[in-house]
Chain A
Amino acid sequence: MGAKRALGASAGGGPAEVAPRIALPTPALPLGEAPAHPAAEARAATPSGARLSVRDFSLYYGRHQALKAVTLEVEDRSVTAIIGPSGCGKSTLLRSFNRMNDLIPGVRTEGTLQVSGADVLSPATDVVDLRRRVGMVFQRPNPFPKSIFDNVAFGLRLLGVRGRTELETRVEASLRSAALWDEVKDRLERSALQLSGGQQQRLCIARCLAVEPEVILMDEPASALDPTATARVEELILKLKTSYTIVIVTHNMQQAARISDRTAFMMMGELVEMDTTRRLFTSPAKKITEDYITGRFG
């Protein structure tokens, strides 16, 4: 709260007062416009080169089987889109990567699921640590009812970052990476709930980027946004894939075609096929995929 006041003083003033905040000493930190990724460098991907690897993965909600022996791999620093009709299990699969399904009672899994070669499903896995490495952006923007600054700083404070200078530097870098800095730099202490829906979603992305995850999961991140805001988020995803591995669930096939490198098509809990986005959308191997992408159903 003390820091809040210190910042509030400069937020109200003119550009002259704001200037020192921007000209922070940053050279030592690898936090440029699109930060190079220390965590991603440090952790080797699996021998096959995949950041995420799913093998014969099945998931049950009680008796209902939501995922049926799904096998797929996701390459490092790429955008993978998961498409399919409602209820096909794409969100369930996405939420398995950071074990958010644990919150639902009665969930049971089979098979293996690895992030950077480390087992995700084992009871011994530290879920808190896993979620720090695998960030998530939700369908509806869900900023905390706190200031813009505190939203982005939340994950950093979780990791024990206390120094004011480091917090400010990292918050600024994250907001820049999320292409939001210029819009909010003069009102970091305002409530995040005052931002527009599109800005809130980019804030959520910045909040996720701040803790330098290896993987970012996005669950229909643009479905609650208008077309302009959607375009900005898509632009951002394309920019982020140079540093991060991104998996995105989308209902919007044009969106999948625009931003992803590879696309997985799911139906009734099964992975029907997965290929480079271009091939999947131009010459799909299966008839059912073609029917879906040409809009014959779903």
Chain B
Amino acid sequence: MPPENFTPLASRGRGLRRRAVNAAAIGACVLAAALILLPLALIVWHLLAKGLPAFGPAFFLHMPKPVGEPGGGMANAIVGTLILVGLGALIAVPVGVGTGVYLAEYGGGRLSAIVRYTADLLAGVPSIVVGVAAYGLVVMPMGRFSAIAGGVALGILMLPTIVRSTEEVVRLVPQSYRHAALALGAPRWRVLQSVVVPAAWSGIVTAIMLAVARAAGETAPLLFTALGNRFWSLALDQPMASLPVFIFDYARAPYDDWNRQAWTGALVLLLLVAVVSALMRLTTRRIAGH
């Protein structure tokens, strides 16, 4: 067919239609991004509005006051949350990062498929069920609620995120790094330890932070494990206070003062996660060195 029967190509694709579709697509993207930001912005704004009145050094330094007495803080709950999440991380980070690296590096076999499937399944288990499991695993044998039980529950909750995200970021490390190290006579474990894991480290830290942030806000699994505590306690084999449980108790209490403190507790929890996450990012950047 002779080309002169068609509209010349040079005059095509310049129409209003193309411009309109382009503008619509960009508009849709901007709208979607705004929709993501909106809930977060609303939450932060609301928390600041409701939480700031009771916010201050006293909230961090003082213990909860009995009903009727004004003031007081959540010092024990703030420290308790840090300890519980720390315990959880202590359990989940070594196991999770190790498993993730294993899956990425040696993950072809049957065992890996089972591990991967289990991790995905675990990610779908409701957190309250994990709490019940920790109750059976730790609280029953010990005969009482304890910080350790809470740490175990949070650790189990953190595991799947750490495992699967670590696997993903380790896979992203270019093969050429591994080949370079092997060609220099590095044994496999050394390639992992000195090249692959450092190269993936900032991604692994992000994975850990996601898990920590999620665990820090968990309430349900702590209800039958760490329980809660109105007094100052650092003993790991005793019940321990935590911010989410305090927020839960204070928010449904019939006292205005407690309700106000629940808002402040929520604000502090958000800040805590933000600060821990920022600190970890800063230190990783220093370690990575570029």
Q: Which of A's residues lie within 8 Å of B, judged by CB?
A: 1, 4, 98, 100, 103, 128-132, 135-136, 138, 140, 142-147, 154-155, 157-158, 189-191, 193-194, 204, 207-208, 211
Q: Are B182's CB and A135's CB within 8 A?
A: no
* A119: min CB distance to chain B, Å: 18
If A100-B179, A158-B190 touch, does A147 touch B185 (CB 8 Å cutoff)? no
State how many angstroms separate the Cβ of B242 from the closest Cβ of chain A: 35
The reply to whether A154 and B184 form a contact with Cβ atoms under 8 Å apart is yes
Interface size class for chain B? Answer: 20 to 34
Decide: A158 near B183, CB < 8 A? Known: A4-B289, A144-B177: no
Residue of A nearest to B289 (CB): A147
Ordered by A's residue number, 10 sampled pairs between the chains whose C-beta atoms are within 8 Å are: A1-B287, A100-B179, A131-B182, A138-B176, A142-B180, A145-B199, A158-B186, A189-B289, A204-B180, A208-B183
| Chain B residues near A207 (CB-CB < 8 A) | 180, 184
* A211 with B185, Cβ < 8 A, contacts A154-B194, A158-B190, A204-B180 known: yes
Mark interface residues in B169-183 (1 if CB within 8 Å of A CB, else 0): 000001011011111
Q: Give CA–CA (A4, B289) in the complex, Å.
A: 10
CB distance from A254 to the nearest CB of B (A): 27
* Residue B187 CB within 8 A of the other chain: yes
What is the bound-complex CA distance between A157 and B181, given in angstroms? Answer: 12
Given A154-B186, A204-B180, 4 further pairs, Cβ under 8 A: A144-B195, A191-B290, A207-B180, A207-B184
B183 and chain A: residue at smallest CB distance: A136
CB of B185 within 8 A of CB of A131, answer: yes
For residue A158, give the distance in angstroms from its CB to the closest CB of chain B.
5
Closest residue on chain B to residue A210 by CB atoms: B184
Chain A residue at smallest Cβ distance from B195: A144
A103 touching B180 by the CB < 8 A rule?
no
Q: Would you call B198 an interface residue if the criterion is a C-beta within 8 Å of the partner chain's C-beta atoms?
A: yes
B275 to chain A, nearest CB (A): 24
If the complex has contacts A158-B186, A193-B290, A211-B185, are A138 and B177 also in contact, measured as CB distance less than 8 A?
Answer: no
Asked whether A145 lies within 8 Å of B177 as measured between CB atoms, the reply is yes
Q: Which of B174, B185, B288 contacts A128 (CB 8 A)?
A: B185
> What residues of chain B lie closer than 8 Å to A145, measured between beta carbons?
177, 198-199, 288, 290
In the bound complex, do residue A138 and residue B184 qualify as a contact, i.e. CB atoms below 8 Å apart?
no
A268 to nearest B CB, angstroms? 26
Q: Report whether B176 and A142 are in contact in the complex, using a CB–CB cutoff of 8 Å.
A: yes
Contact (Cβ within 8 A) A103 B181: no
Of chain B, the residue at the smallest CB distance from A217 is B183
Pick from A140, A143, A146, A155: contact of B185, CB below 8 A.
Answer: A155
Across the two chains, which residue of chain B brings its CB closest to A102? B182
The residue that B176 contacts in the complex, of A1, A140, A155, A208, with Cβ under 8 A, is: A140
Query: A130 — which chain B residues lie within 8 A by C-beta?
Result: 185
The reply to whether A142 and B187 form a contact with Cβ atoms under 8 Å apart is no
Q: Shortest CB–CB separation between residue A37 and chain B, in angstroms?
A: 17
- Interchain CB contact under 8 A, B198 and A146: yes
Contact B185 A103 (CB under 8 A): no
- Chain A residues within an 8 Å CB radius of B185: 128-132, 155, 158, 211
Nearest to B176 among chain A residues (CB) is A142
- Given A140-B176, A145-B177, A154-B194, A135–B184 Cβ distance below 8 Å? yes
Point out which of A130, A136, A145, A189 has the most chain B C-beta atoms below 10 A from its C-beta: A145
Once the chains bind, are B184 and A100 in contact (CB under 8 Å)? no
**Residues of chain B with a CB closer than 8 A to A138's CB:** 176, 179-180, 183
Assembled-state Cα–Cα distance A76/B136 (Å): 70
B199: chain A residues at CB < 8 Å are 144-145
Chain B contacts of A128 at CB under 8 A? 185-187
* A142 pairs with B198, CB closer than 8 A: no
Q: How far is the CB of A81 from chain B (nearest CB, A)?
A: 20
Shortest A208–chain B CB gap in Å is: 7
Which of B176, B185, B198: most chain A Cβ within 10 A?
B185
A130 to B184, CA, bound (A): 9
Task: List residues of chain A with CB within 8 A of the CB of B184.
Answer: 131-132, 135, 154-155, 158, 207-208, 211
Chain A residue contacts of B186, Cβ below 8 A = 128, 154, 158
Shortest distance from the beta carbon of A148 to any chain B beta carbon, whole Å = 11
Distance, CA A143 to CA B183, complexed state (A):
12
Q: Find residues 114-143 in chain B having any chain A CB closer than 8 Å to their own CB.
A: none
Which of B180, B186, B198 has the most C-beta atoms of chain A within 10 angstroms of its own C-beta?
B180
Closest 3 CB pairs of A and B: A132-B185, A191-B290, A142-B176
Which residue from chain B places its CB closest to the CB of A139 in the assembled complex? B176
Q: Please state if B179 and A191 are interface contacts (CB–CB under 8 Å).
A: no
Chain A hits for B177, CB < 8 A? 142, 144-145
* Residues of chain A with a CB closer than 8 A to B289's CB: 4, 146-147, 189, 191
Which B-chain residue is minimally distant from A133 (CB atoms)? B185
Asked if B183 contacts A154 (CB within 8 A), the reply is no
Point out the residues of chain B lying under 8 angstroms from A204, CB to CB.
180
A141 to B289, CA, bound (A): 20
Contact A144 B180 (CB under 8 A): yes
Which of B179, B194, B198, B290 is within 8 Å of A103, CB to CB?
B179
Most chain A CB inside 10 Å of its own CB: which residue of B184, B198, B199, B287: B184
